[in-house]
Amino acid sequence: MSKRGFPYLSIIRGVKRLLGTWSLVISYRTWRIGGSFRERLADQHKWESLLACKRQTPALSNSLLAGLVDVGCGWGRWTIAAARAGFRPIGLDVHIDALAPGVRGLRQLDVRADYVCREADRLPFPSASVDFVFSYSLLQHLEKSAVMRFFSEVSRVLKPKGVCLVQLPNVLGLHNMLQQAKRGFREGRSGTFEMRYWSTKAIRQAVEMAGLKDMAIRPEGFFTQNPQLSDLDLLSPKGKMIVLVSNAGRKLAAMFPIVTGLADSFWVEARVR
């Protein structure tokens, strides 16, 4: 067939259409993973943990609808959990293709929330306008300078007595030490999604430099960054064992706080001055 007769343009258009469809399929699969997405998005233990935090904080419990910003929300798993816990949530993520499935989920679940496409270190909210800033499984992928800017932005947008609750990886975590050894204990490369590990001292410095106070650290994960009991049915036998061991580690740390220092993943909580 001659070059003139070969349908180059049609093939190019077809490939573009296929790639676009595949992108939507990936996003939709992420959103629907696990079969019954209604049950998956409900994530009862998530919204119960957020509700417990709300009840323990007078500034939040006295508000009928405390405003919560979920930074790095992805398709909105925690955002939807926050709505179920009685917050007025806004999910924020830099990737608009990650937000699209979440918007569709809101309609089908009849949940009220909003989504914003923006960087984590440039929060698009007025000063002293937010009750609760939350972030899970995001900050470890940002450069440490960006995380410090994030905490400064959190300090700016939080109302008096507002709360910040984020997840960060522990540089001394047992599994984290192995991962760091594999890359020669170097820092994550600039401009990449590589993990950045934090010491408790560095976390405290970043939080206090931003003007936040009353910092508390508690364990989130052992031998993993983000153990989710609600995901057990999706995991391999090995994955299930890790999540269950991690959950046991959290219970042990509640009785013996020294165990917290071995956790791979921390919850970091702080308040505005």
CB < 8 Å & 24+ apart, contacts of 152-156:
152/209, 152/210, 152/211, 153/121, 153/122, 153/123, 154/123, 154/210, 154/212, 154/272, 155/210, 155/211, 155/212, 155/272, 155/273, 156/123, 156/127, 156/128
pLDDT in tens, the chain (273 residues): 444 554 545 544 544 444 343 333 333 333 333 334 444 444 555 655 666 666 655 555 555 457 999 999 998 989 988 888 888 999 999 999 999 988 888 888 888 999 999 999 999 999 999 999 999 999 999 999 999 999 999 999 999 989 999 999 999 999 999 999 999 999 999 999 999 999 999 999 999 999 999 999 999 999 999 888 878 888 899 999 999 999 999 999 999 999 999 999 999 999 997
Q: What is the CA radius of gyration of the chain?
A: 21
Give the pLDDT confidence of 239-258 residue by residue, as tens digits: 999 999 999 999 999 999 99
* Topology given in CATH for the domain delimited by 37-272: Rossmann fold (3.40.50)
